[in-house]
Amino acid sequence: MTAFTIRVPDEVADRLDQIAQKLDRSRSYMAAQAIEDFVSREEWQLEEIEAGLAEAESGEFASDEELARVVSKYVKATARP
């Protein structure tokens, strides 16, 4: 296991200490867990972006109809006067 030092604002350190105390864990454990969660999430996101770029580069795009169907789920149609 590797140890290193980071600097965080006092407020963040205080909040981390409060969470650690409530969970009966050490500050070090909580910080390591937060970093592990962050790294996992960033790895996943970057993998998804890279996969999407690879699909785009190979010409795998959604059709206009597929795109319209997805957009219509999230955008309300507006009536034009």
- Separation between Cα atoms, residue 56 and residue 59, nearest integer Å: 5
Look at residue 69 and tell me if it is in a domain: yes
Residue 13 confidence class, pLDDT cut points 50, 70, 90: very high
Look at residue 1 and tell me if it is in a domain: no
Sign of CA dihedral 8, 10, 13, 15: negative
At 26-63, the pLDDT tens digits run 999 999 999 999 999 999 999 999 999 999 889 888 88
Overall number of domains in the chain: 1
pTM of the model: 0.68
Look at residue 63 and tell me if it is in a domain: yes
- The stretches of 1-61 forming alpha helices (DSSP H) are 10-22, 27-57
Question: Phi-psi region for residue 59, left (φ > 0), alpha (ψ -120 to 50) or beta?
Answer: left
